[in-house]
Structure formats: C-alpha cells, structure tokens
Amino acid sequence: MTGEPIHDLAHLGRHALFTPDPAGTLRYFVDLLGMDVVAEGEDCTYLRAFGDYETWSLKVIASDRAGPAWVSWRTASAQALRRRIDWLEAHGHAGRWTPADHGMGPSYEFTDPDGHTFRLYYETRRYEAPEGQRPVLPTNFQAYAGRGANVRRLDHVNLLARDVRACRVFWQEGFGLRTYEIVRQADGEGEVASWMSSTIQGHELIYTQEHTEAHGRLHHLAYVVDSREEVLRAADLFTDARVRIEAGPSRHTAIQGFYLYTREPGGNRVEVANGGYLVFDPDAEPYVWNAEDWKAKPGWGAPLPPEFHVYGTPDAAR
C-alpha cells in the first residue's frame, strides 16, 4: 500500500446464497447451525445468527443451482460508499444500483476480476428482538440462542479465482483491504491464495486458486462459534444428522483457525470455525509463503482431502 490507508469498508456484510434445495438448506441453517428465520419472500428466506446487529445476514434464494448470489460490504459512511463507487467507475468496474431489501438499504452491485458479484451498502436496519428473545444485557442484540451449533455470526467468505493476485490487488488498491497472508506459486510470481480483511481480524475475504475453467465460484462460507469445544459439538450434531463431514475438526495453517467443513443439502460448502489471530500492528506486512514451505504445512491436523481444493459452487461442469 502507498499513500494514506483507505478505511471506507466497515466490515463484511450480508450475503445471499443460491440453492436447488431450499427446504433442505433452511433445515441445515436453522436446525443444525441454530440461525433464525426473520422473513420470507416469494422465492427466498432471510436468516440471522444470534450475534448479528443487522436484521438479517443470510438470504437463501431458491434456484436451479447452488452458489453465491452476492457478497456485500457495509461501508463506514454514506460518503465512504460514494467514494468507493467513484473509484469503481473511474477504473472500469462500473456497476448498478439495486433497491433496498428488507432493511438493507440501496446497494451498489459490481463484480470482481473473476466475476463474483459484490454489493456495497451503508443504510441498514438494526435488529430489534421480539418479546421472548430480548437479551438481559442491553449491549447484546438478542437472547443467547444455544440451539444447534449456535453460530454467532458470519466470519469470512472464501472465493475461488483463476487469478488470485488480480483479485487481491483489486481489493487492496481499490478498497484498502489489508492482506495478512499470501501463498505463492512454485514460480514465485503467481499466487495460490490470499487472506484479506477490512479490520484487525485475520480474514474476512479469502481467494484460493480455481482449478477448473469456471469463474465466479464459491469455496465456502464460514460461521464462527465461541470456542473449539463448540466446533467439536457441531461435529457430533452433523454426524447424528447424517451430514458428511468433509474436513476437520482440525486447525488451519493460515490464520490458525479451528475448523469443521460440511456441505449443506443444496451443495454449498460451509465451515464452522473458531479462533484465528488478530493483527493490531498498522504497519504489519503480509506473510508470504513460498510453495515449498506451504507444502510442508507446519502445525498440526489431518490433511485436507483432494476434493477440498477443487469442489466449489456452482458445479463447474454445468
């Protein structure tokens, strides 16, 4: 980064997910993850986790395929929203305005260099818990859920990209995202993965290498729980529900979070996560892994299955 840092993005915002099995997807997020339904539309349902300050955080949309409909960022102010739109339009990434959506104000939709759809918004409606869900502590947003895996909030989104470096530079130069870790290809030039954030949290947005000819695919969404023990408890819940555990419970090398991966019935991969480091140093440089050191995988945990690096949604064959 050169010049004054950009602080126009407040945090990773709401997101929308396509599913060919809306009933199964809702059972997964409500019964197993412990999220609440707050509204329903003609072909969509709005969900929230108990730690969300906004009315909803996930929009599940019925479709003939799985995959990401869009991912969003809330900006730090209305002026910040205008500045980021100006940058997009000045650099050949002009998008379009979309109307307000159940408490989410008008948003500006555009695509990243790989074709993933994003939205920027500032106006939002804060959640007001109904009677029976009001918290004792007024600084909480609703009563402690304690249901299913009991996810607190969205932690990060991992997207597959044909050119990881181009996507990283797009967000770093245009939006001020800080890059905390990078994995280089064997040639030392290209990038296999990057972990970025608008905050001191080690990752909000991740790009990893797309190994097919597809563009704009989702690798996974990750929801955070309060402890490693709750990740293990989620493993028991998934097992009894006969939901296949694809990877984990184990610990990642990058960012060092504790993880568990499954796929919801619509086909989208979801992570239940805990931990990961925080970066308080404003001058911290990203840690760059070379291919040899990354392959050695220091730390501990079972190896990820080969499909983990290839599977994404929508299906690349479609």
pLDDT of residue 318: 58
Sorted by where each begins, the domain ranges of the chain are 9-126+150-309
**Spatial separation of the C-alpha atoms in residues 5 and 53, rounded to whole Å:** 27
User: Mean pLDDT over residues 38-59, rounded?
Assistant: 95
Q: What is the pLDDT of residue 302?
A: 78
Residue with tokens 């960022």: 73
Percent of the chain residues topping a pLDDT of 70: 99
Which strand (E) or helix (H) includes residue 174? helix 164-175
Cβ pair 45, 21 in contact under 8 A: no
Task: Find, among 257, 238, 110, the residue nearest to 174 by Cα.
Answer: 110
Q: What is the pLDDT of residues 92-149, one digit of tens each?
A: 999 999 999 999 999 999 999 999 999 999 999 999 988 888 988 888 899 887 899 9
**Residue-level pLDDT at 4:** 83
| 8 Å CB contact between 82 and 89 | no
* Helical residues (DSSP H) of 201-252, grouped into ranges: 228-240
pLDDT one-digit tens code per residue, 265-299: 999 999 999 999 999 999 899 999 998 888 887 77
Interval 153-164 mean pLDDT:
96
Q: ∠ at Cα 191 (188, 194), nearest 5°?
A: 135
- The pLDDT assigned to 211 comes to 92
Is CATH 3.30.310.10 what the domain over 9-126+150-309 is classified as, yes or no? no
Query: What pLDDT is attached to residue 2?
Result: 56
Return the structure tokens found at 301: 């945990």
Give burial (CB, 10 Å; 0-12/13-18/19+) of 220.
buried
Dist CA 251 CA 35 (whole Å): 24
Mean pLDDT of 5-23: 96
pLDDT tens digits, 165-175: 999 999 999 99
pTM of the model: 0.93
**Between vectors from CA 302 to CA 152 and to CA 317, what angle results, nearest 5°?**
75
- pLDDT, greater one: 122 or 309: 122
